[in-house]
Amino acid sequence: MMSKRRTRRKYSKSCSDCKDTIDYINLLSNKVNRIEEIINNFKNRPRKKPGLSIFNAKFTLNNIPCELEYDLSNFALDELQKLARFTTQNFNNNIIVNSNPFDRNED
């Protein structure tokens, strides 16, 4: 009687496409492992220096000198744009007032 078992052939050599596929899988696996490592180490990064985003505003209100400190990292983009516009206009106005050629005394 004949046996109804199937025999499987074992491949002794991988085809070149299989080798390329294995190489690509290993490369992709290494890249994914590197990304996971970076993400896991992200919490260990040193924090930003807090002094870089601090803005000190000095002004006079009703002849009383005032000083405020703002943390610019909490500002929205439109708020930062308004602050930059105001500061630039104020600075330019001070330059124009202080360098007015008509205020000079000519003898």
Please tell me whether residues 64 and 92 are part of one structural domain. yes
pLDDT in tens, the chain (107 residues): 556 666 666 655 667 678 788 888 999 999 999 999 988 888 777 776 655 678 787 878 888 888 888 788 888 889 889 888 887 887 666 665 555 555 555 44
Is 23 inside any structural domain?
yes
Residues 41 and 61 occupy one common structural domain: no
Domain presence at residue 8: no
Residues 66 and 32 in one domain: no
Looking at the structure, do residues 34 and 67 belong to the same domain, yes or no? no
Same domain? 35 vs 55: no
What string of DSSP letters covers 30-42?
HHHHHHHHHHHHG
Q: How many domains does the chain have?
A: 2
Structure tokens, 8: 């499987």
Give, for 54, the enclosing helix (H) or strand (E).
strand 54-61
Among 24, 45, 66, the domain boundary falls at 45
Q: Is 99 helix (H, G, I), strand (E, B) or coil?
A: coil
